[in-house]
Structure 1
Amino acid sequence: SYRAQILVLTYPIIGNYGVPSEDEVDEYGIPEHFEWTDGISVSGLVVGEICETPSHWRQTKTLSKWMEEQGVPGISGIDTRALTKKIRENGSILGRILQNLPSPHSDHQFLDPNTRNLVAECSVKKTMTYNSNGSPRICAIDCGLKLNQIRCFLSRGARVDMVPWNHNLNPEEFDGLFLSNGPGDPVVCDETVTQIQKVIKESDKPIFGICLGHQLLASAIGCKTYKMKYGNRGHNLPCIHHGTGRCFMTSQNHGFAVDTDTLPSDWEPLFTNANDKTNEGIIHQSKPYFSVQFHPEHTAGPQDLELLFDIFLDIVKEHKMNPSSTSLKDKLNESLSYTLKSGSIPTTKPRKVLILGSGGLSIGQAGEFDYSGSQAIKAMREEKIQTILINPNIATVQTSKGLADKVYFLPLTRDYVEQVIKAERPNGVLLTFGGQTALNCGVELERARIFEKYNVKILGTPIKSIIETEDRKIFAERVAEIGEKVAPSEAVYSVQEALEAADRLGYPVMARAAFSLGGLGSGFANNKEELISLAQQALPHSNQLIID
């Protein structure tokens, strides 16, 4: 998708992780750390600051060295946020990286890459098969795909035949058709569109498209596409699913969109972008065809909708057994719906909410809690809910005049908070906007049944979740329950128990204090002496230490 693009990154420093080995591959021969086999896809990179001393255990070279090997230019020392503002004002623009300032007489030509068939440039030239004994059999048209799309199929047991962009498709040779992402204007890929039309005409095999694949499927059914002024790029872009009304976070990188006004009558929108209202997916009303504009497989971004791969493969398997068995639309609605747990939302809206703000901190500390807490206060005001804030730190945005309806400059301790509850009689309390101090105080108040005594409802994150994430032992157990790999660990409550646990686990170990402000006393120990020092620092702040 980045073919023929100069990529501008606004993050302050780039390259601090370095570049991992290009030789490490998985059991299918797919590079473990990269999204494509042929190195760098972008034409150029613009950053504010480049890091030439990366720090990561997997790094084998610097980003600069990798780009030099690949012949890709980059430039640093640029005010990338100012450049981003220009792009926002003018839309996606053509550009080039020059070593010297151009003279008034220079004649630099700008060639629009969208006039080229970028898909043909980056697609494979011959069919490649992965997991040849897998099932079902998926034909993936490579328009410039990300390897994680292949990984998502392989991890679910499927066989994948990756074919060139203009491959002559035979529906008898696959169980389901996948249309990948890719660069450029979908209008240029008329040969791919013709092949998709042939599959739709000759069979009703399930079809799933992503990004450019979404635009190609739309083009195949007669939809028009258009170039957007900016496009949608980056993580955490909200999309609304039409069937359930739920909002999902997505990763995106596209400059073209589908015009839903041109959808045929037997098709309908599947997702819509909550920000700019552009189309984010389409689905056939009865046949197993659907596509999405975003990237549900994105490894670095939100994985809310990776289950679309499960749904597609389920439909492929069911269609193979009985073509009329299941409705794709119903299956999507069922999988994406969510039933609220009883009592998770108050039956009546609270009229007054107590917010435990950040504790007694130095200026500049815990800014994230100050920011999020001030936003919580604004949200309460919009809902016409009275806010009572307890925050001992006068140097915060939260305590600014005109934000909370009433502010108590008091320490976040059980006794003081109970006095405020007794005086103000709030209906609800928010515990997650004051950092570790507020969380610990909330847990203590709950265990002392103070909230129950004054009929105060805990809003937002349930107290059970707070305890399970802050208690390191319980948290490790919960993570293990969902099949995630966790380091061997033991919970200890004294220096001697820490030493015994380390002997069983083997040095080096990591010591982590539970319910601890700023992770006080946490760190690495290579030997007995270092662990004793860590444990002696941590245990005064926490009654529990976990040794990994």
Structure 2
Amino acid sequence: GYAESLTDPSYHAQILVLTYPLIGNYGVPSDEKDENDMPRFFESSKIWAAGLIIGELCNSPSHWRQSRSLSQWMREQNIPGISDIDTRSLTKIIREKGTILGRISKELPIIASPLSPPIKDPNSRNLVAEVSRTSVKTYNPTGKPRICVVDCGLKYNQLRCFLKRGARVDVVPWDHDFSKDEFDGLFLSNGPGDPSMCETTIAYLRKVLAKEKPIFGICLGHQILSLAAGCRSYKLSYGNRGHNQPVTHHGTNRCYMTSQNHGFAIDAREMPKNWEALFTNTNDSSNEGIVHSSLPFFSVQFHPEHTAGPEDLECLFDVFLEEIKNPGISVKQRITKALVYDAPTTTGKEARPKKILILGSGGLSIGQAGEFDYSGSQAIKAMKEEKIQTVLINPNIATVQTSKGMADKVYFLPIIPEYVEQVIRYERPDGVLLTFGGQTALNCGVELEKMGIFSLYGVKILGTPIESIVHTEDRKKFAEKINEIGEKVAPSVAVNSIQEALEAATKLGYPVMARAAFSLGGLGSGFANNPEELKVLAQQALAHSNQLIIDKSLKG
């Protein structure tokens, strides 16, 4: 998500700190335009962040979409960056001190008090005026309904969300008098800085509120709508930033993961008449959205359209457009209806299993495939909280899963169909979990399904269905499924022998990548630059699997 974040106008005048250890490994995509003449892979036409701080920079990126490295891209746009910084230690300082002013310096500064030259707080400027467009632009002029978008630092993916739903979009500058324009609905975009700087926008918005036309705001747009309604804003000590901010919807009490970037918030303790909180941040209890009790006005602090990031709440765009097309119920009720979870109505044994069999992480070496041990132990804890009895099969005593007090019963047996069937026959579980034991458990589950063992004993497969496991592990079927949804995949051939592998590689052209199906990672998978290297890989792979996929290598 660094390409999207750097081009997000909300980061204007901010130095962006990324805590992920390695940045730049997939490079930067091209400036290719989409059908609406917008950059296909970015959130605006340029980098808006003032600088970038990372731990380790990847100088040899590899991705089929890349056109240049992160460093080259930033150099082209004259944006400074610095690497080899302990960004997690820096994050701790920010966490203790709050949002702080800073600069990237080429040389160590002379220690002076006050700092010379002084660092001026960018929030003292009208940052919205610096990022907003200066003229009106229309997209999809024949579309319906007609949406007026106020550009306060607009991200292109917000436009894409409207355009792919068939709307006409008129984008206007932040200080444009949109109260005089014709439109079916008003959208207030995200943007940087202090919302109180947008007095002109707020004044025009109050005129539109009086007309009772549908209004939807995001991020800074949420704060602008709130101020226009009579709320008060304040500066957060830290701000909420990143791709995994939890918010709770008041109507359903459901929690959603969201992307955010804001340093100001709305005080929801005293809401104006007929306005109420829509979402609340689950971490710090700050306001994440407001809604009018009867009129078609609502806004959210987070980014429901964010790319890259969670898109669980992109449906709010559908709610807004539906409110325009089919008024009748309040937008508050419409949002609740869209977000309520309709649990499937089942009865009896199917609705509530009493005993579950878990195929564990198998005979692994210490330090190997620990994620399956961790996830399996968490599954066991979750089952115990729900008062569901757990039976674990795991031959490895050196795991968390097999610790005393975890599962109700543990069988230290090999994860193979013969032994698992014996346990099923004796224990008679209601359901089985196959995805907490790595490749060994997956393969065993597929074999048991083929043998009819699960249906014979009435054992329900919980979680990922067998069909999905097969479509994922069978490399040929997986490539076919990816093709069905229109995603690009490397040319490939499924083979069952060394000779077939050599013939496929000759047809595709070296270098190639060999990938074994239904096998543990690394067993016969790898790159081959010539027939000799491919023979070695194929021999290893076919010793563990009956299928090998030969892909055209896209490396480099």
Q: What TM-score range do you get, normalising by the shorter chain?
A: 0.7 to 0.9
Q: Distance in 1 between matches of 2:180 and 2:271?
A: 24
Alpha-carbon displacement from aligned partner over 1:246-291 (angstroms, at most 9, x marks no partner): 3332211122222223323423333233333332222223322221
* 1:298 matched residue in structure 2: 306
TM-score by length of 1: 0.87
CA shift for structure 1 position 518:
2.1
* 2:411 matched residue in structure 1: 408
1:442 is aligned to 2:445: yes
Q: Which moved more, 1:510-519 or 1:358-367?
A: 510-519
Q: Distance in 2 between matches of 1:477 and 1:272?
A: 42
Q: Which aligned pairs between 1:461-480 and structure 2 lie closer than 5 A?
A: 461-472=464-475, 474-475=477-478
What SS does the corresponding residue of 1:517 show, helix, strand or coil?
A: coil
* 1:337 matched residue in structure 2: 340
1:94 is aligned to 2:101: yes
1:64 is aligned to 2:67: no
Q: Distance in 1 between matches of 2:490 and 2:340?
A: 34
1:145 to 154, 168, 183: 154
Q: Distance in 2 between matches of 1:327 and 1:381?
A: 41
CA shift for structure 1 position 181:
0.6
Q: Is the 8 A contact 2:349 2:430 kept in 1?
A: no
Q: Which aligned pairs between 1:225-304 and structure 2 lie closer than 5 A?
A: 225-304=233-312
1:430 is aligned to 2:433: yes
Alpha-carbon displacement from aligned partner over 1:52-97 (angstroms, at most 9, x marks no partner): 3323344343323333333332222221111112222222222233
Q: Which moved more, 1:162-171 or 1:6-15?
A: 162-171
CA shift for structure 1 position 182:
0.7
Q: Is the 8 A contact 1:152 1:309 kept in 2?
A: yes
Letter in 1 for 2:223: Q
* 2:212 matched residue in structure 1: 204
Q: Which moved more, 1:9-18 or 1:54-63?
A: 54-63
CA shift for structure 1 position 413:
0.7
What SS does the corresponding residue of 1:65 show, helix, strand or coil?
A: helix
* 1:12 matched residue in structure 2: 21
1:370 to 361, 368, 373: 373
CA shift for structure 1 position 100:
3.5
Q: Distance in 1 between matches of 2:100 and 2:550?
A: 53
Residue ranges of structure 1 left out of the alignment (5+ in a row): none
Q: Is the 8 A contact 2:179 2:205 kept in 1?
A: no
* 1:43 matched residue in structure 2: 50
Q: Distance in 2 between matches of 1:370 and 1:131?
A: 52
1:460 to 460, 463, 476: 463
Alpha-carbon displacement from aligned partner over 1:310-366 (angstroms, at most 9, x marks no partner): 3323333x15xxxx4454334333333343345599666545433212122333332
Q: Distance in 2 between matches of 1:62 and 1:477?
A: 31
Letter in 2 for 1:21: S
Task: Note closer, same or farther for the CA distance 1:510–1:287 as it changes in structure 2 (3 Å cut).
Answer: farther
Q: Distance in 2 between matches of 1:345 and 1:289?
A: 44
CA shift for structure 1 position 524:
6.5
Task: Note closer, same or farther for the CA distance 1:134–1:93 as it changes in structure 2 (3 Å cut).
Answer: same
CA RMSD of aligned residues (A): 3.3
Q: Distance in 2 between matches of 1:30 and 1:220?
A: 31
Task: Note closer, same or farther for the CA distance 1:412–1:93 as it changes in structure 2 (3 Å cut).
Answer: same
1:353 is aligned to 2:356: yes
CA shift for structure 1 position 112:
2.2
Q: Which moved more, 1:192-201 or 1:156-165?
A: 156-165
* 2:139 matched residue in structure 1: 130
Residue ranges of structure 2 left out of the alignment (5+ in a row): 1-9, 552-556
- How many residues are matched? 540
CA shift for structure 1 position 12:
0.8
Alpha-carbon displacement from aligned partner over 1:466-512 (angstroms, at most 9, x marks no partner): 34433445555655666656677776666777789889999987665
What SS does the corresponding residue of 1:84 show, helix, strand or coil?
A: helix
Q: Distance in 1 between matches of 2:217 and 2:279?
A: 13
Q: Which moved more, 1:516-525 or 1:527-536?
A: 527-536
CA shift for structure 1 position 197:
0.9
Task: Note closer, same or farther for the CA distance 1:133–1:351 as it changes in structure 2 (3 Å cut).
Answer: closer
What SS does the corresponding residue of 1:140 show, helix, strand or coil?
A: strand
What SS does the corresponding residue of 2:302 show, helix, strand or coil?
A: coil
Q: Is the 8 A contact 1:171 1:205 kept in 2?
A: no
Q: Is the 8 A contact 1:222 1:262 kept in 2?
A: no
CA shift for structure 1 position 43:
1.6
What SS does the corresponding residue of 2:233 show, helix, strand or coil?
A: strand
Q: Is the 8 A contact 2:232 2:267 kept in 1?
A: yes
Q: Which aligned pairs between 1:121-200 and structure 2 lie closer than 5 A?
A: 121-170=130-179, 172-200=181-209
